[in-house]
């Protein structure tokens, strides 16, 4: 079952521009994580934000979390061609699937040189 839904499904920008991806989810979470997947490769963890945090930074990445709206956003600043990949949000929840991450369908980002 899908917990997170990323928006947009696809995003195409020019190098140097900022890219913003959004994630909405349905149930209460323990944490929310963002992953990147290059074509034909495994996923790489980018950032984890806990349910009691509102914003987190890592290099050119900025993640926000609004638990009242059940939504998160990932901002990539000054994008590069190497940022071209699919980006997934994953929610860590307790309850029926304790300890599991549930992934969304992803946003496909294309950064043109």
Interface residue list for another protein (CB under 8 A): 2, 4, 30-31, 33, 35, 40-45, 48, 88, 90, 92, 97-106
Contact 20, 72 (CB under 8 A): no
Smallest separation, CB 16 to another protein (Å): 28
Smallest separation, CB 30 to another protein (Å): 6
Q: Which is nearer to another protein, 44 or 82 (CB)?
A: 44
Q: Which is nearer to another protein, 15 or 26 (CB)?
A: 26
């Amino acid at each position: 079952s899908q917990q997170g839904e990323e928006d947009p499904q696809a995003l195409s920008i020019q190098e140097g521009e900022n890219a913003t991806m959004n994630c909405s989810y349905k149930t209460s979470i323990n944490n929310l994580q963002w992953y990147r997947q290059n074509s034909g490769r495994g996923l790489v963890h980018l950032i984890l934000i806990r349910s009691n945090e509102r914003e987190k930074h890592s290099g050119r990445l900025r993640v926000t979390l609004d638990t009242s709206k059940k939504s998160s956003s990932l901002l990539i600043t000054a994008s590069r061609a190497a940022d071209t990949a699919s980006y997934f949000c994953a929610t860590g929840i307790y309850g029926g699937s304790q300890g599991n991450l549930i992934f969304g369908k992803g946003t496909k980002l294309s950064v043109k040189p």
